[in-house]
Structure 1
Amino acid sequence: MDDVKMCEHKDVQGDTQPWYKEGLRFECQRCGRCCRGEPGVVWVHKREIENIAAFFGITQQAFAKNYLRTINDRCSLIEYSNGDCIMYDNGCKIYDVRPCQCRTFPFWKSTLENRSEWEKLKKTCPGVGKGKVHTMKEIEENVKIYEGRFG
């Protein structure tokens, strides 16, 4: 019987499947809970700086001067003293061009570690469990994108 249970979690090649193999529901509710309240960093890279500056119609230098801070030779969006992201004002001002870190949330290794981490996230993120089902492939692509930038 234990042998049967072990096989239930393996695909045809014998690889263990993640707990989210059937996919996960998520749709950003644009509530801003992940953008406000807790101190943190939102890393931005050269291409993202270019895209956001163009979105605002300003130079990259003007964008950097007004919206970025440097932490250990990396750029992060400024946050206010209360922890709110500078880009949050009753909604994300740059949602269509938001940084990779924001676009890939909540599909980060830390939130996908196990089902209980995902369930914990439901308490603070109203988008978890709602909307379309993201396939395992989509989820893992997001993890790779995020890990490639920040891992």
Structure 2
Amino acid sequence: MSGILDKWELRAKEQQKANKQFLQKMQLKKGKGAERLLPDLHEEAFEKIDCLQCAGCCKTISPRFKTPDIKRIAKYLGLKESVFIETYLRLDSDGDYVVRSSPCPFLAADNTCNIYDMRPGDCRNYPYTDSDEFFKRPTTTYLNSTICPAVFYVLERLRAKVG
């Protein structure tokens, strides 16, 4: 990884305040047309980034497990929903089910997901770099920029394009 992605973790932490301000400004302006840039920037980012080389999301944060996710994954694992919840999940401060600990218990040693085809909706949509969620939740997005190189990349490219 080169260019924008050189030392991205350090740079993301250093630029957290600027990124937060940029995202708050974009949220107030409802994206100001920048949301149209997201799909292309998302594709560009993932041409440069291989998630299996990072897995920062799976190692540090948890998706929300909604009822359909719990039903689907429990069935896939051959567990009763209550056993799945008791074994793998806890309620967070927002009342959402999340994994009990990090890294995710479904993350394999090679950074693949043991339940990939059944993974929660939050995992399917992460890192939200191709949707308007990117601007709707500025706090989450700028925090994600320190976890996911794709979020950092998209933020940097957006700031350069729309300032």
Could you state the TM-score of these two structures normalised by the residue count of structure 1? 0.54
The answer to which structure has the higher strand fraction is: 1
Matches within 5 A, 1:2-151: 16=33, 18=35, 20=37, 23=40, 24-25=42-43, 26=46, 29-31=51-53, 32-36=55-59, 38=60, 40-72=61-93, 73-79=95-101, 83-90=102-109, 91-108=112-129, 109-110=133-134, 121=145, 124-125=148-149
Q: SS of the counterpart of 2:52?
A: coil
The equivalent residue for 2:12 is none
Tell me how far 1:65 sits from its aligned partner. Answer: 1.1
Aligned residues: 107
Q: Which residue is equivalent to 1:5?
A: none
> Which letter maps to 1:71?
D
Q: State the alpha-carbon separation in 2 of the partners of residues 98 and 53 from structure 1.
A: 11
* Runs of 4+ with deviation above 6 angstroms: 111-114, 126-129
**Offset at 1:52?**
0.4
How much identity, in percent, do the aligned residues show?
21
TM-superposed CA distance for 1:68, in Å, is 0.7
Task: Tell me how large the CA RMSD over aligned residues is.
Answer: 3.6
TM-score by length of 2: 0.50
Q: 1:56 to 1:128 in 2, by over 3 A?
A: farther
**Residues 25-34 or 97-106, more deviating:** 25-34
Shift of 1:61: 1.3
Q: Which protein is bigger by CA-based radius of gyration?
A: 1
Rounded to whole Å, the distance in 2 between the matches of 1:17 and 1:127 is 15
**Which letter does structure 2 place at the counterpart of 1:85?**
C
Q: Which of the two has greater helix per residue? A: 2
- The 1:46–1:22 alpha-carbon spacing in structure 2 relative to 1, beyond 3 Å, is closer
- How far apart, CA to CA, are the structure 1 residues paired with 2:145 and 2:52? 15
Alignment-derived partner of residue 142 in structure 1: none
